[in-house]
Chain A
């Protein structure tokens, strides 16, 4: 701003005195420099805390990943011997048992994330569209749908764990005893069905968040758009495709990213459902890493896996943001 005023001021009026213009310019510039530092000073404390709370443990974690940090050194981990890239080599050696297990867990987590985020988003969007128009009981339904998100995570997931029990669980009672959908009661917490359990509980837990965000986004779509399109003869599907979805694009961009990161890193749901050792079909990466470091006391190896996970998430996030922003810009230019 200061620069613009400086260059345009003399050319603006012939009758203005150059001297007075310069006199006015000088204090103004120093004032604006001072002012430009203010925002930085204001965020500085937050920035320092951010460094302290987030960055330092991350750096420490990265340092740990290059060390052979087993139970022999946890008391004085500065003394743990350097292992170079050894921990990483073991983690990405997919022919070895540890690398193979990590790859398996990674693929399970990818499949789980795609399904869980997909269903959460679909449910959230559907419910938000259905509840867009005011009707009797809308407030009650909104509150009801929000409940899973408001419950303490441990309490709600442990209730799921009870419901999913083989012998006395509600799920088997309904599916097997009441509806006779299977010849014998299924296992939901061990074996291959544990993957289904994970997806269901995760969607149950996260879709209210999608609903909340999309409902908020819809408040910003002007009613006139719908009215105008209705006059032009657009049906409900066309309205959703041509008005609602494009207007929600920036909201969805963030929502899907946040859901992806939360779901991919989810520790609570598998830990509460399966305990310390998850069944192979429900072996999500966060719990796998926990098992590879905390339970086997190999913190260097666990750190290396965490760093690999961090890198993967960084790459995915960057590509996703670049891709969606590019597409967003293209559609808005078109």
Chain B
């Protein structure tokens, strides 16, 4: 019996050590498996299957050109970050992957992604091919980018032409004051002015950030420390919450939307306006005809969209990263070159309704339709990147949750004041660690 106990103790000790050893994943890739690549694509289409159908012909083209077989896995947004983190901690992951461009700096800090230094950029055709604003969302300043832009997106104000006409509104609003006034006119008979995605952390963060910028505020200072309770940030968040709380141009039920119900409400005419990134393709999938909606730049406080306090969209989009542990680094770079080539940029962005991330592909006529023109203009002139700091993903979670709670208060009819917003943001800031 004593011997058995000793054996168990020994085995425990050994397996524990093995467990510790398992946590390290410091391999730096190589070219041991030059014939295959695993690619994790994010969900850009209507469904995971829709993405598969759109991407497969392109991947077959790549295989024909290079002889490299690409194993495709489309990962849904709720799982993507977890999957990337698991891959980072285990060292077992894909070779090439999509990331939301706002995660770039956070994932860069893990060291799991291959830095795009000058050599890597030369291999894929040069850094200056990419649109400058999109490159601004690929990692912390002063470090080699952790990824390259793949699809670029920006916010636009989508409006229902028929509802506008019925309410006697001549054109889309250019300032928030106009938007609220128009929204009030539209909010009759069960319909509402503006649809929002009140329980979706990512959507909330994007809007809160732009609103804060328009109030000359920010959620981080120059050193990368959180400033969630700065007057500009508080005023920005409050203005956004007020669509439900005091302006009442948004249906209270939107406070619990997190699965694109706002898109659905806009497509079915339950709401007259929507702030969205490249909604065109998705509206068509929900049965809304292209002639029924229009798109305009997102409003500003006053004046016209531009830089500084007149930014009206974030630099949204998807980046393409190479996993540092890849066993086919050369092949991975070839694949990145292929995906960012003019031809593929035109095909893929055309399919998804997004904007090419390389300048030379943007001139293609298909990106000059009214929707893409507005988004392209926003990206070029009045877009700002979300903070490129390692704590960005914490910010998304904590401030996103704070906004969800504030929307819940507003929807329940509880007063939302500058003090209550500030208090909730203060709580979020105190929970920032590390």
Check if A and B associate.
yes
Interface residues of A (CB under 8 A from B): 40, 44, 47-48, 51-52, 55-57, 59-60, 63, 68, 70-72, 74-78, 90, 96-98, 101, 165-167, 185, 187, 189-192, 275-277, 279-280, 291, 294-298, 301
B148 interface hit (Cβ, 8 Å): no
Verify A98–B433 contact, CB threshold 8 A.
Answer: yes
Residues from chain B with Cβ under 8 Å of A47 in the complex: 8
Verify A75–B433 contact, CB threshold 8 A.
Answer: no
B405 interface hit (Cβ, 8 Å): yes
Q: Shortest CB–CB separation between residue A78 and chain B, in angstroms?
A: 5
Closest to A52 in B: B15
Residues from chain A with Cβ under 8 Å of B59 in the complex: none
Query: Hey, what's the 0/1 contact readout for B390-434 against A, CB within 8 Å counting as 1?
Result: 100110011011001101110110000000000000010011111
Q: Shortest CB–CB separation between residue B2 and chain A, in angstroms?
A: 12
A96 to B25, CA, bound (A): 35
Verify B11–A74 contact, CB threshold 8 A.
Answer: no
Interface residues of B (CB under 8 A from A): 1, 4, 8, 11-12, 15-16, 18-21, 23-26, 78, 82, 85, 88-89, 91, 106-107, 109-112, 199, 201, 251-253, 255-256, 258, 390, 393-394, 397-398, 400-401, 404-405, 407-409, 411-412, 427, 430-434
A48 to B18, CA, bound (A): 14
| Cross-chain contact of B109 among A72, A101, A298 (Cβ < 8 A) | A72
| Cross-chain contact of A166 among B23, B256, B404 (Cβ < 8 A) | B256
Verify B256–A59 contact, CB threshold 8 A.
Answer: no
Q: A51-B11, A301-B433 known; A296 and B20 CB under 8 Å?
A: no
Q: A78-B23, A275-B199, A276-B201 known; A70 and B89 CB under 8 Å?
A: no
Closest to B204 in A: A277
Residues from chain B with Cβ under 8 Å of A190 in the complex: 199, 255-256, 404, 407-408, 411
A72-B111, A75-B88 known, 5 other contacts, Cβ within 8 Å: A60-B19, A77-B89, A78-B23, A191-B408, A301-B433
Residues from chain A with Cβ under 8 Å of B256 in the complex: 165-166, 187, 189-190
A74 to B1, CA, bound (A): 40
| Cross-chain contact of A187 among B8, B255, B432 (Cβ < 8 A) | B255
Verify A63–B20 contact, CB threshold 8 A.
Answer: yes
A40 to B25, CA, bound (A): 37
A279 to B15, CA, bound (A): 40
Residues from chain A with Cβ under 8 Å of B18 in the complex: 56
Verify B404–A77 contact, CB threshold 8 A.
Answer: no
Verify A76–B23 contact, CB threshold 8 A.
Answer: yes
Q: A40-B4, A76-B25, A277-B201 known; A296 and B397 CB under 8 Å?
A: yes
8 residue pairs bridging A and B, Cβ less than 8 Å apart: A51-B8, A72-B109, A72-B434, A76-B23, A96-B430, A276-B201, A296-B393, A296-B397
| Cross-chain contact of A98 among B78, B405, B430 (Cβ < 8 A) | B430
The 10 tightest CB contacts between A and B, nearest first, are A97-B430, A190-B408, A277-B401, A167-B253, A70-B434, A295-B397, A166-B253, A74-B89, A296-B394, A77-B23
Residues from chain B with Cβ under 8 Å of A40 in the complex: 1, 4
Verify B25–A277 contact, CB threshold 8 A.
Answer: no
A57 to B16, CA, bound (A): 8
Verify B404–A75 contact, CB threshold 8 A.
Answer: no
Interface centre among A48, A71, A98 (most CB of B within 10 A): A71
| Cross-chain contact of B434 among A63, A78, A167, A298 (Cβ < 8 A) | A298
Verify B89–A60 contact, CB threshold 8 A.
Answer: no
Residues from chain A with Cβ under 8 Å of B397 in the complex: 276-277, 291, 295-296
Verify A75–B25 contact, CB threshold 8 A.
Answer: yes
